[in-house]
Amino acid sequence: MQHINSGDTAWMLVATALVMFMTPGLALFYGGMVRSKNVLGTIMHSFIMLGVGTIVWVLYGYSLAFGPDKFHLIGDLSWIGLRDVGMAPNANYAATIPHILFMAFQMMFAVITPALITGAFAERIKFSSFLVFMVAWMTLVYSPIAHWVWGVGGWIRNLGALDFAGGTVVHINAAFAALAAVLIIGKRKGFMKEAMHPHNLPMTILGAAMLWFGWFGFNAGSALTSGGLAAVAFVVTHIATAAAALGWILIEKIKTGKPTTLGAASGAVAGLVAITPAAGFVGPIAAIAIGFTAGIVCYLAVGLKFKFGYDDALDVVGVHGVGGIIGALLTGVFASTVINPAGANGLVHGNPALLGKQLIAVAVTIGYTFVASFIILKVIDAIMGLRVSEEDEITGLDLSQHSEIGYALGGFGGGTLEHGASGSVFQPETSSEPSYAMQTNPLNERL
């Protein structure tokens, strides 16, 4: 067995848990931005990916993405069901931590990436179709692209493009799948006519804060070791995020007169996205430039959906797509071998060729994910329909897809128990004693 470094392993265990925490963070970030009738449906889209993404990854996703290379395009199935993925390190990926820990770290990325897409089709997708899409997308889009960029033998990795923590694989990839989804599923009923305000901004801001926190694992963990590189990635992640939050509220103040909390939260996320590919390659001042640029440009980008009439409900394209492209290209501008000798110099350090490689990586990712996602969604739409019925959309996803409501604050009219959990039919009591329904229905307790 190769030597396992306990410091590296301890850090990567923590980093993996931090990245896991981003997905519920995303659930709250998105959940607060929809109307209250869709809060649970929206949270569920992210939360259940911890289930779907994990199982797909363990069964075959990890093997497709990181398994032994086939034609520089895909991994083979020799690690199916995590066969041969054990405690011994895999020197190709992370020589000082158990291979199974590297797999778990990557698993959290495979969970959150599809969850990012869900902001685009929020408030109108059918849950069953959503699940089918996610399995197909992880298989046919995420795993191949992860292999190209990160897998040993992957052709983008061989090209020499830099992507420290997943600007292309995670953010650009999710965003252009989101764009395909928006085009196929169509607008929410009433889009650009009626108000579709965020129903719970404190929830959204809490979610953004959880994303910020978890992102330290995402970016600094991508060093795959505990040391100077992880520390640099950690610090520049924080700096870019701070600059982006400020950039967004600054342009907002200039454009509309008031800095908003949703703007600060959105700016922070845009900054996190943009610094992701650059985190292990740039210094603090470059991080400010990347974050500030992302904050301002992403603000301008999210306004475009109204011009085009595309209902990207929660701005996946504007924040993750545009932020991801800014990050990938500015990595080609600011990357420095002083920060990371294993990286490359960018434009400002005398190497314009890197910018070209970054452009190729971005363009190919956009092209592949858009076309493949478009086809997958078209097929699912034809077979089972992507959208809920108009009636279900008006009712909201919480009741129509999950038979629940997010906020039981009314205090009356909460209903009566019909069937217990076992499925047994409830017999109403005829005596004057309080009925079982009265005792167990949380809504009735408030009477």
Residues near another protein, by CB under 8 A: 190, 194-195, 394-395, 399, 403-405, 410, 412-423, 440-443
Report the nearest approach of another protein to the CB of residue 442 (Å).
Answer: 8
Given the complex with another protein, which of 190 and 284 has the nearer CB atom?
190
Burial class (CB in 10 A: 0-12, 13-18, 19+), 156: buried
Given the complex with another protein, which of 37 and 147 has the nearer CB atom?
37
Rounded Cα–Cα distance for residues 245 and 50 (Å): 28
C-alpha separations of 168 from 115, 150, 322, 365 in Å: 15, 11, 11, 7
The residue among 115, 212, 234 whose CA lies nearest residue 171 is 115
Report the nearest approach of another protein to the CB of residue 419 (Å).
Answer: 4
C-alpha separations of 180 from 140, 319, 375 in Å: 15, 16, 9
Q: At what angle do helices 322-334 and 353-384 cross, to 10 degrees?
A: 160
Rounded Cα–Cα distance for residues 330 and 274 (Å): 9
Given the complex with another protein, which of 382 and 425 has the nearer CB atom?
425
Burial class (CB in 10 A: 0-12, 13-18, 19+), 311: buried
Report the nearest approach of another protein to the CB of residue 124 (Å).
Answer: 14
Given the complex with another protein, which of 2 and 128 has the nearer CB atom?
128
Given the complex with another protein, which of 350 and 423 has the nearer CB atom?
423
Report the nearest approach of another protein to the CB of residue 394 (Å).
Answer: 6
Report the nearest approach of another protein to the CB of residue 202 (Å).
Answer: 21
Given the complex with another protein, which of 135 and 417 has the nearer CB atom?
417
Given the complex with another protein, which of 283 and 414 has the nearer CB atom?
414
Rounded Cα–Cα distance for residues 325 and 47 (Å): 26
Report the nearest approach of another protein to the CB of residue 418 (Å).
Answer: 5
Residue 261 has which token pair? 């909390």
Strands 69-70 and 74-75: antiparallel
Report the nearest approach of another protein to the CB of residue 392 (Å).
Answer: 11
